[in-house]
């Protein structure tokens, strides 16, 4: 995969699958819990959705490799744009997560969306589903 820019003008990391060695389920949950407020709803919803897609037996091995790779990338504190940089720190993570969401979109069922949304509500309280989340869904979940 070449570096490409999306609407946010942030580069998607090349060969996202190469980050798979950084994926660990417990590290993912620790990362999500520790950065949820800082990273924001869009990033966390995208990561949660991919996590739940990964659990589905219908997802191909190639798609699972992309998901594991991008979640490994998300776990890393230092990547293309280090996470500690205010506002911009998670823009590369979000771009990479959205790219993979778009790739595996046909596997995202209403049940997976509900699982991700329920977990998001658990951490953020009430979520305006018609706001940021629907924008992510309309641009990425083409197959659902």
- pLDDT digit string, tens, across residues 53-100: 999 999 999 999 999 999 999 988 766 566 556 566 778 888 889 999
- pLDDT digit string, tens, across residues 108-138: 999 999 999 999 888 888 777 666 566 566 5
Distances (CA, A) of 40 to 1, 57, 93, 110, 141: 27, 29, 11, 22, 19
Domain boundaries, the chain: 38-140
Tell me which residue has tokens 């407020």.
37
pLDDT at 5: 38
Tell me which residue has tokens 């869904």.
137
The number of angstroms, rounded, from the C-alpha of 92 to the middle of its chain's C-alpha atoms is 11
pTM for the whole structure: 0.78
Contacts of 5 (CB under 8 A, 6+ apart): 11, 12
Tokens of 37: 């407020």
Residue 12 is given by DSSP the state P
Report how far residue 57's alpha carbon sits from residue 2's, in angstroms, rounded to the nearest whole number: 29
Distances (CA, A) of 76 to 47, 96, 132: 13, 13, 24
CB 28 within 8 A of CB 44: no
- pLDDT digit string, tens, across residues 101-111: 999 999 999 99
pLDDT at 11: 53
pLDDT at 2: 38
Residue 104 is given by DSSP the state T
Report how far residue 36's alpha carbon sits from residue 130's, in angstroms, rounded to the nearest whole number: 20
Residue bearing the bigger pLDDT, 43 or 2 = 43
């Amino acid at each position: 995969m070449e570096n490409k820019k999306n609407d946010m003008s942030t580069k998607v990391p090349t060969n996202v699958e190469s980050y798979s060695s950084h994926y660990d389920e417990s590290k993912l949950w620790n990362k999500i819990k520790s950065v949820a407020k800082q990273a924001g709803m869009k990033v966390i919803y995208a990561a949660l959705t991919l996590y739940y897609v990964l659990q589905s037996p219908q997802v191909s091995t190639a798609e699972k490799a992309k998901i594991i790779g991008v979640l490994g990338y998300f776990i890393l504190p230092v990547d293309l744009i280090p996470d500690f940089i205010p506002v911009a720190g998670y823009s590369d993570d979000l771009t990479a997560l959205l790219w993979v969401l778009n790739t595996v979109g046909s596997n995202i069922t209403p049940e997976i969306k509900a699982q991700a949304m329920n977990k998001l509500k658990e951490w953020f309280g009430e979520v305006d589903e018609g706001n940021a989340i629907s924008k992510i869904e309309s641009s990425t979940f083409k197959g659902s």
